[in-house]
Structure 1
Amino acid sequence: MTELRPWLVERLARLCSVATDRIDLDRPFREYGLSSRNAVALSGQLAQFLGRPVAPTIIWEHPTVRRLTDHLTDTPPPEPARAPAVVLGRNDDTALAVIGIGCRLPGGISSPGTFWEFLCSGGDAIREVPEGRWEAYRRTSPAHVAVLDGTTRLGGYLDDIEGFDAEFFGIAPAEAAELDPQQRMFLEVAWESLEHAGIPADGLAGSRTGVFVGASGDDFARLRMEDLPGITGWSLPGTTLSVIANRLSYLLDLRGPSLTVDTACSSSLVALHLAAQSLLTGESELAVVAGVNVLLSPGGTVYADQAEASSPTGRCRPFDADADGIVRGEGCVSVVLKRYGDAVRDGDRVLALVRGTATNQDGRSNGLTAPNPAAQQDLLAQAYERARIAPAAVGYVEAHGTGTRLGDPIEAGALGKELGGPARAGSGPLFIGSVKSNLGHLEAAAGLVGLVKNVLALHHGRIPPTLHHTRPNPAVPLFDLGLEVVSRLTDWPASAGERVAGVSSFGIGGTNAHAVLSDPPRTVRP
């Protein structure tokens, strides 16, 4: 079809108001200013031109004129051969044990038990922004007030971000006043995760315990450091993201790696990946992995509104026909990890196993913030190959599941191609869902919240419902992809004597992460 390329160049130039001779065949569409809405419209026009159906996500799968026309005119390559199902090697050296959990989440959730009850009951923690949270911005200018009056006010907000027992942690009042609420909350939740694991925190001094935290919000730092006359000798360590992890390592005299990871919304799952590598190489003998996010400024919400990413209805509806955007959220989760063999040796309670992790990057996709379907599929392939688990063995994937018109079809397509469809060969659909429907999008903490949900689901043998899913998104052919959204409390699907789950998390800059989990052997399940 030699006429396809000039037709596409002409349509792109018209949509983006540029001359046809300025169109570079190898430049991503987004760089010409092609909006998501126009990209979907262009895919519809392509379908009419070709006289056959075209996926609405095709612009993101092939984000340049050359790649798109080559794809549409070439014969697609055959599907790669799939490996047969693999029996999990429960005792091999690559398994990591989750032995403790701590959490502080919207809806009054302060323990693994209350989180599980909340999930099973279909809890919805979305509420109006707490009174007074944004009040400082109303005292600046009429322009600020006008913006605030039109800003989305619904989100997954915590009841209390001020409370902190500084004396318990040996922190002087003057220093405590300068601490980012993310530092305070992480200290408390990390301590609780160690208690849940049965590990006395004050007995870890000098040990190779690593601390890996996902965090990206710097609202407190911006607010605090703009008050030049009020800056004190405690302000910098109190506001710097790197110190979130360092604070625990200092407090407990830990000698393992101590780092805060910022890859935006995939931060905490990337932190888990780094912790896994540290444990498997022997660099760490124990790891505390956490994610934390606090929403002090309306700035991020204003951005989401302007980018048309916020849900006007204030609810996240993953993979649903009425999905209309994200809802922001805040909170903290922490897990304690050991090598599986060490956990068995030490008599620890093993809640779940981390079988494998993977991270990658979208590369030059259709814009810096645009997802890359091929990268997501490759990420899944890497994670399950490392875990030595075949697609048919996976029962459930806790998806990134933001409930956006673009993100959901792309993610579902990657899941279907790699883990669903023919790969399941009679094993039933792959169940998918997202805790963002309950809590909102916890951004840097989102991936680890999904992981904790999976750990609890594996432990209890039931999958909690994803809320607000009534009609499948027409752009997401769930049946054809071999997928099913879990919309009610569901028993774990029958399999070869094991439960396997995955969790995905994607960052706005293109850093992706996935983790594979399984239940522990029945002999160590509490």
Structure 2
Amino acid sequence: MGAARHRPLFDELAPARPPAGQDGGPRRKAPEGSSRLREKLLPLSAKERRDHLLRLVRAEAAAVLGHPDARAVEPDRAFRGRRVRLDDRRAAARTGSPRRPACAKRPPSSSTGPTPPRSPTTSSTACSPPNTARTPKQDAGTAPAAGPARSAESADDPVVIVGMGCRFPGGINSPSDLWEFISAGRDAVSELPDDRGWDLDRLSDTAADGTARDPATGRFLDAAGDFDPAFFGISPREALAMDPQRRQILEVTWEAMENAGIDPRALRGSATGVFLGAAYQGYGHGVELPGAARAICCTGGSPAVTSSRVAYVLGLEGPALTVDTACSSSLVALHLAARSLRDGESSLAVAGGVSVMAGPEVFTEFATQGALAADGRCKAYSEQADGFGFAEGVGLVVLERLSDARRHGHRVLAVLRGSAVRPGRGEQRPVRAERSGAAAGDPRGVGGRWRWHG
């Protein structure tokens, strides 16, 4: 029954040949030269193997895609970014290029997902011939060492902030912009944006008594949907299906690393972790997207994929987590990143949060509860408090152990001496215990920062 079913994805592929001796015929000797690639790779070092395979893959890709030579295939650009179509792969299967070796290893059956490659075109796992051992000397040039295992944090090696990146309302696109904005005492409250397709007439409608039904002010990012997909090897089609929050995170992560004096491209294969606070904002919900974009909208709008996408684009091999604890999401992400560094799970980490509203529903829902301030401004602990105001933005910090920061020559912007997560009344006790353990007897550990909600 299954054999007669039409399967358009596989019908045009060449049928697999049975292994020698399993088709009922006599076992045939392997033809001369069938292991030529293996013989070629055996005497080479790990770097030489990778270079040889890279030349081979570029030549084959150029032939299949119709390029005149291999120079048209950039080694640091993923196949998906080249728009390699199913028809191209079918053509490759039919032509059976004599130079195409089957040398890449299959992932183990227990693998839970794809691992970001150290190079989008070739990875070091394909650089060793089958059935050959890889010595530490061979691996040295291809696999960056992960961070050394750490014991509990000591007072003289805390977690520090070495870089920052941000975008906030009011034209703030960098930490220096933020400092100047605050120093000047400026205000970022504005009317609802007119470039997002929101029904502003309905939102600004008034009730029978003349009062506004919904507060029509907030703090919004300028040009929140702008994005340069080609810079990150992302096709325009996929960028259309990608939540603006993810677009912002990709760009600000790059900026935060540069602010720390780190070339993001040099992090490929490192134990760098990504810890983000983000929530679903409804991007793409109820909107009719083109067919190709609709197929990837389910992952493009998922905040859970955002941290993994950053790790994939940069080739990072540390943890990649997205957390949603409402207003405290970015702080919880910071806490988890610091823990990962203290435990030796990560050698470097980027942590923070993002919020970009895809639709105005959040205004109408909270306005119904009477929770929004009429002027869009929060007035915490004030007698004039009448609700809260919504705001957008993205803020990220780059974290590292102090000893690593000194060794790499990174400037230290701030010290994170301790953190803890606890809901409700129990917040202060674990923070004090955490900080007393991290900086016992240090008079600089007396001060602190807490955050409450409610």
| Conserved? CA contact 2:154–2:438, under 8 Å | no
Asked if residue 381 in structure 1 is aligned to residue 432 in structure 2, the reply is yes
Partners of 2:234 and 2:422 in 1: how far apart? 39
* 1:105 equivalent in structure 2: 168
- After superposition, the C-alpha distances for 1:234-254 in whole angstroms (9 at most, x for unaligned) are 212211111111111000110
Shift of 1:149: 6.2
| Conserved? CA contact 1:256–1:283, under 8 Å | yes
| Conserved? CA contact 2:256–2:397, under 8 Å | yes
- After superposition, the C-alpha distances for 1:161-195 in whole angstroms (9 at most, x for unaligned) are 12111111111111111110000000011100000
Alignment of structure 1 residues 295-334 onto 2, 5 Å? 295-334=357-396
Which of the two has greater strand per residue? 1
* 1:96 equivalent in structure 2: 159
Give 1:296's aligned amino acid.
A
Q: Find the residue that maps to 1:353 and give its secondary structure.
A: strand
- After superposition, the C-alpha distances for 1:252-295 in whole angstroms (9 at most, x for unaligned) are 11000001111111111000111111100101000011200011
* 2:125 equivalent in structure 1: none
Unaligned runs of 5+ in 1: 1-89, 363-373, 396-499, 509-526
Q: 1:284 to 1:310 in 2, by over 3 A?
A: same
Alignment of structure 1 residues 33-48 onto 2, 5 Å? none
* 1:504 equivalent in structure 2: 451
* 1:56 equivalent in structure 2: none
Q: 1:132 to 1:206 in 2, by over 3 A?
A: closer
Alignment of structure 1 residues 217-366 onto 2, 5 Å? 217-224=280-287, 232-362=294-424
Which of the two has greater helix per residue? 1
Partners of 2:343 and 2:259 in 1: how far apart? 25
| Conserved? CA contact 2:166–2:394, under 8 Å | yes
| Conserved? CA contact 1:104–1:332, under 8 Å | yes
Q: 1:204 to 1:137 in 2, by over 3 A?
A: same
Q: 1:228 to 1:169 in 2, by over 3 A?
A: closer
Partners of 1:252 and 1:322 in 2: how far apart? 47
Q: Find the residue that maps to 1:322 and give its secondary structure.
A: coil
Asked if residue 173 in structure 1 is aligned to residue 236 in structure 2, the reply is yes
Give 1:359's aligned amino acid.
V
Q: Find the residue that maps to 2:399 and give its secondary structure.
A: strand
Asked if residue 196 in structure 1 is aligned to residue 259 in structure 2, the reply is yes
Give 1:156's aligned amino acid.
R
Q: Find the residue that maps to 1:265 and give its secondary structure.
A: helix
Identity %: 40
Partners of 1:360 and 1:210 in 2: how far apart? 23
Give 1:194's aligned amino acid.
M
Partners of 2:301 and 2:197 in 1: how far apart? 19
| Conserved? CA contact 1:91–1:340, under 8 Å | no
Partners of 1:216 and 1:387 in 2: how far apart? 31
Partners of 1:393 and 1:135 in 2: how far apart? 49
Q: 1:345 to 1:393 in 2, by over 3 A?
A: closer
Shift of 1:229: 6.7
Shift of 1:159: 1.4
Alignment of structure 1 residues 349-498 onto 2, 5 Å? 349-362=411-424, 374-388=425-439
Q: Find the residue that maps to 1:135 and give its secondary structure.
A: coil
| Conserved? CA contact 2:160–2:416, under 8 Å | yes
Partners of 2:372 and 2:232 in 1: how far apart? 38
The partner residue of 1:119 within 156, 171, 182 is 182
Q: 1:165 to 1:93 in 2, by over 3 A?
A: same
* 2:272 equivalent in structure 1: 209
- After superposition, the C-alpha distances for 1:297-339 in whole angstroms (9 at most, x for unaligned) are 2221222222222112322122222122111000101110001
TM-score normalised to the size of structure 1?
A: 0.52
Shift of 1:361: 2.3
Q: Find the residue that maps to 1:260 and give its secondary structure.
A: strand
- After superposition, the C-alpha distances for 1:185-216 in whole angstroms (9 at most, x for unaligned) are 00011100000000000011110000000001
Q: 1:323 to 1:146 in 2, by over 3 A?
A: closer
Partners of 1:235 and 1:144 in 2: how far apart? 30
Shift of 1:221: 4.7
Partners of 2:409 and 2:452 in 1: how far apart? 32
Unaligned runs of 5+ in 2: 1-152
* 2:45 equivalent in structure 1: none
* 2:12 equivalent in structure 1: none
Give 2:190's aligned amino acid.
R
Shift of 1:296: 2.1
The partner residue of 1:129 within 172, 192, 214 is 192
Give 1:202's aligned amino acid.
R
Q: Find the residue that maps to 2:166 and give its secondary structure.
A: strand
Q: Find the residue that maps to 2:421 and give its secondary structure.
A: strand
- After superposition, the C-alpha distances for 1:58-114 in whole angstroms (9 at most, x for unaligned) are xxxxxxxxxxxxxxxxxxxxxxxxxxxxxxxx9735511100000010010011111
| Conserved? CA contact 2:282–2:301, under 8 Å | no
Partners of 2:259 and 2:246 in 1: how far apart? 20
Partners of 2:345 and 2:371 in 1: how far apart? 40
Asked if residue 154 in structure 1 is aligned to residue 217 in structure 2, the reply is yes
Partners of 2:248 and 2:278 in 1: how far apart? 12
Q: 1:169 to 1:343 in 2, by over 3 A?
A: same
Partners of 1:315 and 1:232 in 2: how far apart? 37
Residue-pair matches, total: 299
Partners of 1:190 and 1:144 in 2: how far apart? 36
Partners of 1:358 and 1:268 in 2: how far apart? 13
| Conserved? CA contact 2:162–2:412, under 8 Å | yes
| Conserved? CA contact 1:193–1:336, under 8 Å | yes
Shift of 1:146: 7.6
Partners of 1:349 and 1:154 in 2: how far apart? 39
Q: Find the residue that maps to 1:244 and give its secondary structure.
A: helix
Q: 1:130 to 1:144 in 2, by over 3 A?
A: closer
Q: Find the residue that maps to 2:280 and give its secondary structure.
A: coil
